[in-house]
Amino acid sequence: MAKLNHLPFEDWLLSEETLTQEEAGRLQEHLQGCEVCSMLALALSEVDRELRAAPVLPPVAGFVNRWQARLEAERQKLHRRQTFFTMLLSIGGAMFFFALLAIVLLPVILSPWPVLLALVYELTSTFSFVSVIGEALLTVLRALFDLFPVTQWAAIWLAFAGLGALWVVALHRLTLPRRIIT
């Protein structure tokens, strides 16, 4: 109940807002009779004075230099960290690659003969296949050569050369950079 009696006045004291004439009069009247509120008013004015009188403290001289040194240290730390992570990533990657390689090559290392035999077989098969294809191509070419006389072959070659030249010129014209008029 006693607290309730102080409520508007305490709020008025604590608020920085300007009071109306009537409110100011009521507050003054209350302060004259209320020890609690008058003590609060006095304490508030002293706290205000104390805080407003306290200076804005400066840091110790050389603050900017210390900041620059700290920035440099921070940069170096970041650089070291980046280098460390790059190395870690590279070493990790290399280790992973070697591990995979080891898994793949392990059977070969342990017993190389079946693999070598398979390799020889593959090489022989490929060679035989290439020989057969080559023979077939030669047969076709021989047949074609016998089909036309030499002069007709020359004419066909010339016609192909002319078409090729025409294609190159057309391509060159089409891909020329166009001028942009602004």
Compose the 70-89 pattern: x for residues touching another protein by CB under 8 A, - for all others: xx--x---------------
Shortest Å, Cβ 105 to another protein? 48
From the list 4-12, 125-133, 154-162, 167-175, the region that binds another protein by CB under 8 A is: 4-12
Binding test (CB under 8 A) with another protein, winner from 5, 8, 25, 43: 43
Binding test (CB under 8 A) with another protein, winner from 8, 42, 118, 153: 42
Nearer to another protein, 48 or 122 (CB): 48
Using CA atoms, how far apart are residues 82 and 88, in angstroms rounded to an integer?
Answer: 10
> What is the 8-class DSSP label of residue 55?
-
Cα 43 to Cα 20, 46, 67, 126, distances in angstroms: 23, 5, 40, 104
State the Cα torsion 42-43-49-55 to the nearest 10°: 170
Find out whether 53 and 46 touch, Cβ atoms under 8 Å: no
- Interface residues with another protein (CB under 8 A) are 10-19, 24, 27-28, 31-32, 38-48, 50-60, 63-64, 66-68, 70-71, 74
